[in-house]
Chains A and B, each alone.
Chain A
Amino acid sequence: MYEFEFVKPTTVADAVAALGEEEAQALGGGQTLIPTLKQRLAMPATLVSLTGIAEMKGVKAEGGTVTIGGGTTHGTVAKEAASAYPALAALASNIGDPAVRNRGTIGGSLANNDPSACYPAAALASGATIVTSSREIAADDYFQGMFTTALEDGEIVTAVRFPVPEKAAYIKFEQPASRFALVGVFVAKYADGVRVAVTGASEEGVFRWSEAEAALSANFSAAALEGLSVPADGMIGDLHGSKEYRAHLVGVLTKRAVAAA
């Protein structure tokens, strides 16, 4: 790693001020950023740790909404969201491994928007609201392609609000070495329709599969998906799986998610 200054503010306001300095970079749990720094793929002058900000931690469920602080670890979500939003808690309990889950945070995952990360699928399928240090962003506007989001420089994900669905499930086909999703599908059924979000598959990052949403909104069963498929064009193809293989998995996993919901 290149050398950097380390600061650890205790309020969002102080963190935003620190991030206003030149070449400052926010640090969540560091489970992606620290490996990136070790590879010398980033060279911040200052790392602004968000782990000391109490107001960004915790899980709160009220009135059909689960609100998760941006600094909440996957391990905490797995435990504390289990009764209010079981599919989300189950997703959190399968990210990485236990030690990674004890450091990695939901805000860090969403700010990074790795094309194979799990949380973007949950946020997009749930129509979540990304609450930042300066505004609120609908999930549909937030994800803008691989490693790209609507966040401005120095903007922090302080919380994520999930409307709790009637039924939901996330199924991921795990890349066994990294435990990222080779493909992951999150299906969420709400009173006004079904949302289906796919991670790991597309070169554009997480996306909604609108054909499947229409079919499932009319008939919430795996049978409703018969004959539907996503085009292989635009899928990620690499040594772990071809474009065609990933496109095929999208269909298979969506059916499994509906069956599990």
Chain B
Amino acid sequence: MTKISMKVNGKEVSGEVEGRTLLVSFLRDTLGMTGTHVGCDTSQCGACVVHVDGAAVKSCTMLAMEAEGAEVATIEGQANADGTLSVVQQAFQDHHGLQCGFCTPGMVMSATALLKDNPKPSEAEIRHYLEGNICRCTGYHNIVKAILAASGQLEGAIAAE
């Protein structure tokens, strides 16, 4: 076992891991932060998406030791300091961008990463960006709508429909 340290949602954390420990296992099992989900464990579904040094990654397909010294952001760190939801989270709630909610942590993290790079994405760009996030409930329509709303573009999009 090796001790690793990193910042998760701005807080210094550390723990003992094996070489084969996945980042998602470190988050969920070592730190007890179960907001990040494991859906497929084969890097298809995107429920485990977190940000490592600002980049969206699948935490089931990254070794915990690769994140030594990194800044990791998870769904638990997305709400504002006063406990209110982030813009993306609130948009998912407002536009019913989830049903069972299992994929939602990954969806919110991917959407947040997209809007950081591309604050006004088109619907096509949103759908392309979400190719690695699978949702079996919503049919994606309300997720796309929520992200358009979070980027302040929903008025125009609805008018155009």
Contact = CB atoms under 8 A, between A and B. Distances in A.
B66 interface: yes
B20 A98 contact: no
B33 interface: no
A97 B109 CA distance: 14
Interface residues of A, number: 27
Interface in A28-59: 30-31, 34-35, 37-38, 47, 49, 51
Contacts of B129: 98
Interface residues of B, number: 28
Interface in B40-89: 41-44, 46, 49, 55-58, 61-63, 65-66, 68
Contacts of B43: 31, 34-35, 99-100
B20 A100 contact: no
A103 B57 contact: yes
Contact of A38 (B41, B56, B58, B110): B41
Interface in B3-33: 18-20, 22
A31 B61 contact: yes
Contacts of A179: 131
Given A31-B61, A103-B62, A97 B46 contact: yes
B20 A102 contact: no
A8 B20 contact: no
A4 B20 contact: yes
A107 to B, nearest CB: 16
Given A98-B56, A100-B58, 4 more contacts: A5-B19, A6-B63, A6-B65, A98-B132
Interface of A: 1-6, 8, 27, 30-31, 34-35, 37-38, 47, 49, 51, 75, 96-100, 102-103, 177, 179
Those 5 A-B pairs whose CB atoms lie nearest each other, nearest first: A97-B132, A6-B19, A102-B55, A1-B20, A97-B131
29 contacts: A1-B20, A2-B20, A3-B19, A3-B20, A4-B20, A6-B63, A6-B65, A8-B68, A27-B63, A30-B62, A30-B66, A34-B43, A34-B61, A34-B63, A37-B20, A49-B63, A49-B66, A75-B55, A96-B132, A98-B110, A98-B114, A99-B49, A99-B132, A100-B58, A100-B61, A102-B55, A102-B56, A102-B57, A179-B131
